[in-house]
Amino acid sequence: MKVLALVNEKGGAGKSTAAINIACAMHRQGKSVVLIDADPQGTARDWREASPSGLNLPPVVALDRPELLISSIKTLAAEFAVIDTPAKAEKMSASVIRIADVAIIPVQPSGADVWASAAAVKLIQAKKDLGGAIDAAFLATRISSNTKLSKQILSGEWNEYGLDMLDTAISNRVAYAQALTEGMSIYETRDGEAKGEIDLILQELEVAGWL
Ligand SMILES: Nc1ncnc2c1ncn2[C@@H]1O[C@H](COP(=O)(O)OP(=O)(O)OP(=O)(O)O)[C@@H](O)[C@H]1O
Ligand SMILES: [Mg+2]
């Protein structure tokens, strides 16, 4: 099983939104994928509970205790696991990074988000230092292309962390919040540009050999 995790200790960074839409995109491509809700807050579970019946969505499994996650993830039959990680949960973040093959750190264009991402970078670096294999990158989220902060984050000038950022960013679009609220993915909305963003993220991960 290949494990892709969305991590950032910062609350509201866009982890659940990215995890849900990436898992849905993979599922739509015919990949065998399970979305793991590692957050006791249960956003991914609530999202799935809110889903209208008949939609073609991936299964969601709750593994929201660190030990349980590590012991149980291997028992899942899927080819891919996408983990939605909680904020402010050091032990869970460490467990997620331990089992992740790929870590994506969503980061919004603000100092608070950038600074908070350091904790995830540290965990990734610690795994690498111990000889562990993990591919990792930032993912700029909630971008508004006309703002200075968005331009700054997209230019990479803030990035002193030694990790690349994905070329594709997730823009600030009401469709993401609307879809999440209605238990859908971005693919069930009419926002073609948002669908294009998630498509490109998947393409980038595939080209990098991370999926
Ligand atoms: N690209 C976006 N455009 C518009 N709204 C967004 C976008 N990404 C996230 N949001 C909204 O921002 C809020 C936080 O997003 P989300 O739940 O994905 O973050 P999170 O990192 O999972 O938060 P938490 O740390 O609480 O788990 C939600 O209300 C979500 O709908
Ligand atoms: Mg969340």
Q: Where do the domains of the chain lie? A: 2-207
Average pLDDT value for residue range 62-84:
97
Q: What is the pLDDT of residue 102?
A: 98
For atom 16 of ligand 1, the residue with the nearest CA is: 14
The model's pTM: 0.98
Instruction: With beta carbons less than 8 A apart as the criterion, state whether 163 and 123 touch.
Output: no
- CATH H-level, domain 2-207: superfamily: P-loop containing nucleotide triphosphate hydrolases (3.40.50.300)
Centroid of ligand 2 to alpha carbon of 91 (angstroms): 16
- Closest ligand 1 atom, CA of 11? 25
Q: Where are the alpha helices (DSSP H) in 29-117?
A: 43-49, 66-72, 90-99, 111-116
Q: Which residue of 6, 17, 193 sits with most ligand 1 atoms within 8 Å of its CB, as the best mutation to test the pocket?
A: 17
Residues within 5 Å of ion ligand 2 by Cβ? 15-16, 43
Centroid of ligand 2 to alpha carbon of 89 (angstroms): 12
Instruction: With beta carbons less than 8 A apart as the criterion, state whether 94 and 132 touch.
Output: no
pLDDT tens digits for range 139-162 = 999 999 889 999 999 999 999 988
The mean predicted confidence, pLDDT, of the chain is 97
Average pLDDT value for residue range 178-203:
98
Q: What is the pLDDT of residue 24?
A: 98
Centroid of ligand 2 to alpha carbon of 132 (angstroms): 26
Q: What is the pLDDT of residue 9?
A: 95
The neighbour count for residue 26, using CB atoms within 10 Å, is 24
The residue among 145 and 201 whose pLDDT is bigger is 201
Residues touching ligand 1 (Cβ under 6 Å) are 11-17, 39, 41, 43, 86-87, 141-142, 170, 172-173, 176-177, 180
- Residue labelled with tokens 């990949």: 31
What is residue 174's DSSP assignment?
Answer: H
pLDDT tens digits for range 81-133 = 999 999 999 999 999 999 999 999 999 999 999 999 999 999 999 999 999 99
Centroid of ligand 2 to alpha carbon of 85 (angstroms): 7
Strand partners, 165: 138
Q: What is the pLDDT of residue 124?
A: 98
